[in-house]
Amino acid sequence: MRVLATGGTGYVGSEVVAQLVGAGHDVRALVRTPGAKLAAGAEPVQGDVTDADSLVHAAAGMDAMVHMVAILDGSDAQFEAINAGGARNALAAAKANGIERFLHMSAIGVNGENAPLTRYWRTKWAAKQAVMESGLRWTAFEPSFVFGHGGGALAVFERLLRMPVVGVIGDGRYRHQPVWIEDVGRSYVAALERPDLTAGKVYELGGPQAFTFDELLDELARATGRPRRRKVHVPVGLMKAQATVLKYFPEPLKVTPEQIVMLVAGGECDLGPMRADLSVEPASLAGAYTR
């Protein structure tokens, strides 16, 4: 198929694009600046999800669209323009070009109940609603923390493990189910190629193990050959107050109050549809790190 991918230069998007190309699809990837790094075999096309006309132009001649652009931090206007507006522009571009197949990247925790709690959840929920109400043959994905060698959400936690003592927000009992980046890519390829089975469905993407945050740090230390670190649990309220300053720090210390809300909310996945419809048996954290 001829596929337009937005967000194809990002960490997760690059993997998705690489796997789509590897599966034999012709992939055109939206780039904001010429010369942006892309997976081998992908065709760059200049544009921006906040520029509706550029998306219409980029989508010309395509059979499907894969929309993966989002931000976790920024101004109110940026959240609205990129997370919510970008999805609406992508949907409009698909319709303008007669494209029916639309794959959308959402996230665990994006629902009507959580939407008022953070700008990310609110704008991603607006995007998800627009996708589900579009009338297109859509499929949405809700990955947990995505991890891979040297990148992804867990890379920040890996850097924390370099410290002799790790500060943990709250009681550390909130649970997460991290998913291997290659399994995310496989899920996109499978969904694209099985529209009769996957259209109109939302798939949670996670690994086979749900860890408390304390357990996740210990497992990550084991998987990367580091010693387990002593943990100091810091009250959530105190961390939110400190985050008003820490948001200006570099990683791994950088954190915003809204990111704290989303972290302690946790996120577990129902892997049944991922396994049954997409034929993806997710890799464990330790198993993936040894590949």
If asked whether residues 139 and 152 sit together in one domain, one would say: no
Question: Tokens 């999805």 correspond to what residue?
Answer: 87
For residue 202, name the pLDDT band (cuts at 50, 70, 90). very high
If asked whether residues 164 and 107 sit together in one domain, one would say: no
Q: What is the mean pLDDT of residues 52-62?
A: 97
If asked whether residues 19 and 113 sit together in one domain, one would say: yes
- Please report the DSSP string for the chain in residue order: -EEEEESTTSHHHHHHHHHHHHTT-EEEEEESSTT----TTPEEEE--TT-HHHHHHHTTT-SEEEE----SSS-HHHIIIIIIHHHHHHHHHHHHTT--EEEEE--TT-STTTGGG-HHHHHHHHHHHHHHTS-SEEEEEEE-SEEETTEEHHHHHHHHTTSSEEEEETTS--EE--EEHHHHHHHHHHHHH-HHHHTTEEEEE--S--EEHHHHHHHHHHHTT----EEEEE-HHHHHHHHHHHTTSPTTT---HHHHHHHHH-B----HHHHHHH---PPPHHHHHT-
- Token readout for 52 is 């509706």
Distance (Å) of CA 8 to CA 28, 54, 182: 9, 16, 14
Q: Where residue 39 sits, what CATH number does that domain have?
A: 3.40.50.720
* pLDDT of 21 over the 60 cut: yes
Query: What is the domain range of residue 238?
Result: 145-179+206-267+281-291
Look at residue 283 in the predicted model and tell me its pLDDT.
95
Look at residue 248 in the predicted model and tell me its pLDDT.
60
Q: What is the mean pLDDT of residues 249-269?
A: 82
Q: Where residue 233 sits, what CATH number does that domain have?
A: 3.90.25.10
Q: pLDDT tens-digit profile of 101-123?
A: 999 999 999 999 999 999 999 99
Q: Do the domain assignments include residue 38? A: yes
Q: Do the domain assignments include residue 272? A: no
If asked whether residues 64 and 20 sit together in one domain, one would say: yes
If asked whether residues 172 and 74 sit together in one domain, one would say: no
* pLDDT of 249 over the 70 cut: no
Look at residue 143 in the predicted model and tell me its pLDDT.
97
If asked whether residues 135 and 63 sit together in one domain, one would say: yes
Q: pLDDT tens-digit profile of 149-173?
A: 767 777 888 888 888 999 899 999 9
If asked whether residues 149 and 38 sit together in one domain, one would say: no
* pLDDT of 267 over the 60 cut: yes
* pLDDT of 250 over the 60 cut: no
Look at residue 158 in the predicted model and tell me its pLDDT.
84
Q: Do the domain assignments include residue 125? A: yes
Look at residue 152 in the predicted model and tell me its pLDDT.
73
* pLDDT of 37 over the 90 cut: no
If asked whether residues 215 and 291 sit together in one domain, one would say: yes
Percent of the chain with pLDDT over 70: 97
Q: Do the domain assignments include residue 15? A: yes
**Of 115, 143, 171, which closes a domain?**
143
For residue 242, name the pLDDT band (cuts at 50, 70, 90). confident
In the chain, the number of structural domains is 2
Q: Do the domain assignments include residue 155? A: yes
**Of 126, 143, 160, which closes a domain?**
143
If asked whether residues 44 and 129 sit together in one domain, one would say: yes
Distance CA 13, CA 203 (A): 17
If asked whether residues 128 and 77 sit together in one domain, one would say: yes
Cβ atoms within 10 Å, residue 116: 9
If asked whether residues 41 and 166 sit together in one domain, one would say: no
Q: Do the domain assignments include residue 65? A: yes
* pLDDT of 186 over the 70 cut: yes
Q: Do the domain assignments include residue 172? A: yes
* pLDDT of 252 over the 60 cut: no
Q: pLDDT tens-digit profile of 67-103?
A: 999 999 899 999 999 999 999 999 999 999 999 999 9
Look at residue 35 in the predicted model and tell me its pLDDT.
82
Q: Do the domain assignments include residue 187? A: no
If asked whether residues 149 and 134 sit together in one domain, one would say: no
Q: What is the mean pLDDT of residues 36-42?
A: 91
